[in-house]
Structure 1
């Protein structure tokens, strides 16, 4: 017969092990999740449980029995995510997390299981960046489970497990950026130069409208970007942080190319698209990449991706007298917290930075021989 105790009770099982039971705050009779080798171990477990109840730390053990797949899918569905982010999270959950953790209860996911899963993903040839993103998502989901009081401790304990280690990318020189722009299709010349000397991202460039380009002031207003989903759908969205909303000055040496582009290729009307494909469609990244590689080959430039042009803009701006805050303003960097500081960048100071960048462009172009031995122009 089970022995009565001030809190809970312990009984010896036919196997010789001991079972501990207690009445939870919900009124239900609950057994310990495991049996014990000795009565002393069972007593100690009950003492710990009593302490948790007194301190208000008790968690319903049944709540953590929810399968990971159900919890993770609900986690993604409940959050106000951008479509592209929701799509990415859905793929990470479905392809990389559910096959291993899907049927496991939240409470049964252990640090050892997480370490084994991560190693298996890497050994299977999954890219380190993808594994890092999947791990970071798993850690965030399990962190929510801790906040929901389903589990006590996040099982994702791998130091820097969610850190993406990427090799330093090359930086295109001023002359290389102009060479690529001039070797490619004329309708994309302005796109390449704005990426290189204003630090605009692909999505920001494709999302530009005529009203965002002030040719008189030589300024571009970045209000959002165009994102392309795996389904092919394009979505215009606001920047991830307020710092992404910014006004960028165009270097004077590049401005004539932008003026010509607006006259020849940009759509009419305030809401007209600045960059349009030859058949009138918004350019797609995969199609443009083909043109990009052809232009790089024709220009004799190797190993440069389109996004690397942002490094060019960043490097040139950093060589001016701009401070960290001004550089972050120009490039649209910053967390939501930092955006309160960075989003109000001084336009006059932005023009000064652009002027300093322009001086470097002019000097570089003067060293490049043109058809008649003179410096090559930027408006051809």
Structure 2
């Protein structure tokens, strides 16, 4: 009698020989589904069935078999199937291999809940992973789990830690115009314009080293950005299109850079249209590590009066600040930087404190000048500009 199935309107419970209770039901696809584990009593088994019935009524039922794939297998497929730049694909695979799969890789998607994600993230932090690495790994897990939700493998994304997708970063240094020119001079004639172009156009390293003669229009004073070089592990360079439509752009350049480029093209660039603009003495494309050592970057940074730890990317940072201080609008900054969203452009506008102080000082002079005693012809006691 103990093994006789229970009679219910939805599902079925039965007592096993072990004394524990098993619950099952027929899914919308006609396949019988069993609870992932047995229950200590009939009430607990019935409660589980009640929850499954509620899912069906709300239209929130998921095929539990879909959630039984391991995170490692699903994550690897996710990286292979998504359209990613070569460098981003390499980064994601490294994050999975080093920081995610060792903890989450063998777990089934359906068994990864918020508590599991919190523990995994805490373990990364306890293992002294950098805040930036932890944030990148968390963003990748969240993106993979979002796809799992879309594929109806799981009901909800377990990545719900507020602020876990960002890492606080120290404010990067900004060079003055004099320091930029001092650094360019110290680097030497072959890469002088390379440094100036980074600061005066805001182009990224990969965009600069991919520039060809045909991309530069000195008569129109513009540089066209159509591609970039991604440097993979081992130093291999791969040409790629910008990751968004905003990355394909034409950047106007100041007249001072036009003349510098004119001389550079004559002295260091082959005459045909596809010739790379910035190359080493043997015609090779600069690679970050070897280029830094070749030009003795650290020593030259110090020679130019810049702080230790000043990176080449800080020249782009400097150029964006200069453009913002010049009065560029948010939309103009977005175009110049090659960004499709306002977030990065707003950062530079937010940090133009020097320009804000200049405006405040000028306003103070206007108020002081027009609010002198005896100048209030209308007797209002207000400065003229306030009337």
One fold, TM greater than 0.5? yes
Correspondent of 1:117 among 115, 120, 126: 120
Among residues 9, 13, 23, which one is paired with 1:10 in the alignment? Answer: 13
- Looking at structure 1, the residues matched to 15 and 8 of structure 2 have their Cα atoms a distance apart, in angstroms, of 14
What is the CA-CA distance between 1:126 and the residue it aligns to?
1.3
CA drift at 1:20: 1.8
Aligned counterpart, 2:272: 269
Which residue of structure 2 lines up, in the alignment, with residue 321 of structure 1?
Answer: 327
**What TM-score, normalized by structure 1, do the two folds share?**
0.84
- Partners in 2 of 1:79 and 1:12 — Cα distance? 47
| Structure 1 residue 293 corresponds to structure 2 residue 298 | yes
Moved more, 144-153 or 301-310: 301-310
Question: 1:66 corresponds to which residue?
Answer: 69
Deviation at 1:40, TM superposition (A): 3.0
Among residues 149, 166, 176, which one is paired with 1:163 in the alignment?
166
Whether the aligned pair in 1 keeps the contact of 2:209 and 2:228 (CA below 8 Å) is: yes
1:42 has 2:45 as partner: yes
Quick check: 1:100–1:117 contact (8 Å CA) kept in 2?
Answer: yes
**Mapped partners of 1:286, 1:232: distance in 2:** 9
Q: Residue 313 of structure 1: CA displacement? A: 1.1
Which TM-score applies when normalising by structure 2?
0.82
Is this contact kept in 2: 1:184–1:294, CA < 8 A?
A: no
Corresponding residue for residue 182 of structure 2? 179
State whether residues 183 and 299 of structure 1, in contact with CA within 8 Å, keep that contact through their aligned partners in structure 2: yes
For the residues of structure 2 that align with 1:52 and 1:300, how far apart are their CA atoms? Answer: 66
3-state DSSP of counterpart to 1:93: helix
SS in 2 for 1:5: coil
**Matched residues in 2 for 1:169 and 1:63: separation?**
45
- Out of 92, 106, 114, the position equivalent to 2:95 is 92
What per-residue deviation string (whole Å, max 9, x for no partner) do you get for residues 237-257 of structure 1? Answer: 111211122222222223222
1:81 to 2:59 alignment: no
| TM-superposed deviation, 1:196 | 0.8
Is 1:331 aligned to residue 337 of structure 2?
A: yes
Aligned counterpart for 2:252 among listed residues 249, 254, 277: 249
Deviations 1:309-356 (Å, cap 9, x if unpaired)?
112211111112321111211222224xx8xxx9xxxxxxxxxxxxxx
SS in 2 for 1:329: helix
The answer to whether the Cα contact below 8 Å between 2:27 and 2:33 also exists between their aligned partners in 1 is: yes
Q: Secondary structure at the match of 1:62?
A: helix
Aligned length: 337
1:372 matched to which residue of 2? none
Higher relative contact order (Cα pairs below 8 Å, separated by 6+ residues): 1
- Give the Cα separation in 2 of the matches to 1:222 and 1:50: 56
Q: Kindly state the Cα deviation for residue 190 of structure 1 after the two structures are TM-superposed.
A: 0.4
Q: Give the CA RMSD over aligned residues.
A: 1.8
2:60, 2:155 within 8 Å by CA — same for their partners in 1? Answer: no
Note the residue ranges of structure 2 that are not aligned, 5 or more in a row: 346-387
1:135 to 133, 138, 162: 138
226-235 or 187-196, which deviates more? 226-235
Secondary structure of 2:234's counterpart equals: coil
Q: Show the counterpart of 2:22.
A: 19
For residues 15 and 148 of structure 1, the distance between their equivalents in structure 2, rounded to whole angstroms, comes to 37
1:86-139, Cα deviation, whole Å (9 max, x unpaired): 111111111111111111111111211111111111221211111111111011
Farther-moved stretch of structure 1 (96-105 vs 249-258): 249-258
> Which of 110, 129, 150 is the matching residue for 1:107?
110
Q: What do the CA deviations read for 1:220-277 (whole angstroms, capped 9, x no partner)?
A: 1111211111132211111121112222222222322211111101222111100011
SS in 1 for 2:300: helix
Which stretch of structure 1 is more off in the superposition, 296-305 or 217-226? 296-305
